[in-house]
Structure formats: C-alpha cells, structure tokens
Amino acid sequence: MQSSATQQRHVVAAAYLGWTLDAFDFFIMVFVLSDIAKEFGTDITAVTWAITLTLAMRAVGAWIFGRVADRFGRRPTLMARRAALLDPRVRLRLCPEPYRVHHPARALRHRDGRASGASAPR
C-alpha cells in the first residue's frame, strides 16, 4: 500500500493534468471559433458568449460543490458532480444549434459550467 504522501502527490498531479488538458481545450478552441460559427450557422459573437457563459459559471460551481463537499464529504459530492455533468453534456451534444445566444442551449451551458466548476480548486 502506498503512503499517504505518495497518494496526495498522485492526486495533485492528476488534478493538475486534468486542469491543464481542460485549459488546452479552450485555448485550441480560440483558433477555430470562425470554423465553429460557420458550422453552426451563427456568428463568432454567439459562440464566444456561449463559451464565456460556461467559463463564468465554473466559479459558481466550484463554490457550490465545495460547500457541499465540506458538509457531506468528497466522495458523494464527486458522484453528484458526475451525475450533474452528464445531463447537460449529453443534451448539448444532441442540440442542433448549441451556440445560439437566445436558445434553450444557453441554460444547458449554464448547468454545464456549474458542474464543470466542481472539479476546479477553490
């Protein structure tokens, strides 16, 4: 069995790598915004607002899920976060126009951002 310090280092490394890959994903998206807008038949402003809404709600999700984790423990909160993240992600993938500003997808982006923020450090 590994020592506690070794496990802690592994957890920190995994969290850092997950955060790095997530940041890389958004960094790459900046270079293809015009292609995304053209693919979905909208303008770049609508796509950037959708991305901004998702990112802005991460702070809210980190705060909410952090408070819940302090009260109920990390493991049940992680399971709740996974369940909370699955629904908006699946629905956004099935949405025909996910980047329109005034569309039901806006609420899904809001929920996706809050659930994504649960994995962010607070």
Query: Which sequence spans correspond to the domains of the chain?
Result: 1-31, 33-119
Is the pTM for the entire model greater than 0.75? Answer: no
Exposure on the CB side of residue 6, measured as CA atoms within 13 A: 3
Kindly state the tokens that stand for 20.
């790095």
The per-residue pLDDT for range 64-89, each reduced to its tens digit, is: 888 888 899 888 888 888 888 787 77
Asked whether 113 and 86 are in contact (CB, 8 A), the reply is: no
**What's the average model confidence in pLDDT over 14-40?**
83
